[in-house]
Amino acid sequence: MKRLKILFFFLISSSLFAKSIEKAFKPDLYYTYLSFAKTLTVKKIYQIEKSEFDLYKKLFFNSLSPQTFLFETFISPLPVVAYYTKTHHKTIYDNFDAGENFNLLNILTAGEEDPWGISLFVGNIVPFLPPGKRHGYSGVAYSGFLFTIGNKHLKDNLLYDDDWFQFEWKIKGIKITRFNKKKWSFRMGLKFHDNKMISDTFYLSLFRDRIDYIKRKFGLWRNSTFDLYLGVRKSDLKPTKVLFLFGKNFPKVIKRKIVVYTVNAGILWEGANKYSDVLKEEKEMPSLQFILRPSIKF
């Protein structure tokens, strides 16, 4: 773990030779972040004329020659508030009980493991041109490697000491037109835990989000979100976690601005291979839990 952290801070210090810096901030119930991007050289802007598969292939090869360093600090506001309420205001927390072993705050925060952390992205950030045009802007894509560290682990809205380190390769992006907005993220990686009661994990994650601004007939993929996470234990590749979410977006125009209300629902499965000792569930059967995640997008 110490060697991995040394590598992390070495990559941060090496980026100090960058020429430019940009910052961004985005509030969210589950992932609020502040980021700083430093670019060594400006990448050529892409035309989006071919299939998405061709785009992902091009982004994959670009990730092998990184030109951008992006620092990010993040926090998970709703899970942190749920933890604080459970440990400091138990009476209020219990008011969210809706039956035996059924708490609304658990449903809203299930699957969230990282209360906060620091990330370093090493790769490329590439803007897009609209199809057939030489000017304008229609989105941006990221491809490269992400290093993340933290010092706490969330489980059942309780915090446990855990100096963890995560390494992943990812492709993510956003494409905006007059008619819709698409976001996607494909990533795979390895997460190490200093806490011996938590298993080190290989994982694969797929995410896609689409917002349609023009009202049309109902469609399964229009105004929908899709999120899938698969995790296996590093030591023997036994499954540890499966998360599946599907949701719908409801765009509304409020004071000439588009506000999108989103409701995601799904299931979380955590096997007996994920935790050990006092963190392991008393029952030997894998746990299956319903998840509900409402949010607002601006």
Q: What is the pLDDT of residues 240-258, one digit of tens each?
A: 999 999 999 999 888 888 8
Q: Given a cut of 60, is residue 13 above it in pLDDT?
A: no
Would you say residue 290 lies in a domain?
no
Give the pLDDT confidence score for residue 73 in this predicted structure: 93
Which residue has better confidence, 232 or 59?
232
Residue 21 within a domain: yes
Map residue 232 onto helix, strand or coil.
strand
Q: What is the pLDDT of residue 58?
A: 73
Give strand pairing partners of 129.
47
For 154, counting Cβ atoms within 10 Å of its Cβ (0-12 exposed, 13-18 middle, 19+ buried), the class is buried
Q: Which residue has the higher pLDDT, 166 or 45?
A: 166
Residue 277 lies in a domain: no
What pLDDT shows up at residue 234? 94
The residue among 284 and 78 whose pLDDT is bigger is: 78
Question: Is 265 part of a structural domain of the chain?
Answer: no
- By residue range, what is the domain housing residue 214? 2-221
* Residue 273 pLDDT > 60: yes
Q: Is residue 232 part of a domain?
A: no
Residue 116 has what pLDDT?
A: 96
Which residue would you say has higher pLDDT here, 5 or 23? 23
Residues 6+ apart with CB under 8 A from 235: 199, 200
Stretch 202-227: mean pLDDT, rounded?
87
For the ranges 10-19, 45-54, 59-68, 207-216, the lowest mean pLDDT is seen at 10-19
d(CA 154, CA 161): 9
Residue at 88 is within a domain: yes
Query: pTM here?
Result: 0.82
CA angle 168, 172, 177 (to 5 degrees): 175
Mean pLDDT throughout 6-17?
Answer: 55
What was the pLDDT predicted at 12?
A: 56
The structural domain count of the chain equals 1
Residue % of the chain over a pLDDT of 70: 81
Q: How confident is the model at residue 278 (pLDDT cuts 50, 70, 90)?
A: confident
Judge whether 62 lies within some domain.
Answer: yes
Q: Please say if the pLDDT value at position 96 is more than 70.
A: yes
Q: What's the average model confidence in pLDDT over 63-92?
A: 90
Q: How far is CA 29 from CA 120, 180, 294, in A?
A: 22, 23, 9
- pLDDT confidence band for 238 (50 / 70 / 90): very high
Query: How far is 115 from 117, CA to CA, in rounded Å?
Result: 7
Tell me the average pLDDT of the chain: 83
Q: Answer yes or no: is 64 within a domain.
A: yes
pLDDT per residue as tens digits for the range 122-156: 888 777 766 666 555 677 888 899 999 999 999 98
Supply the pLDDT for residue 239.
Answer: 93
- 110 CB contacts (<8 Å, ≥6 apart)? 268, 289, 290, 291
Specify burial of residue 254 (Cβ count, 10 A radius: 0-12, 13-18, 19+): exposed
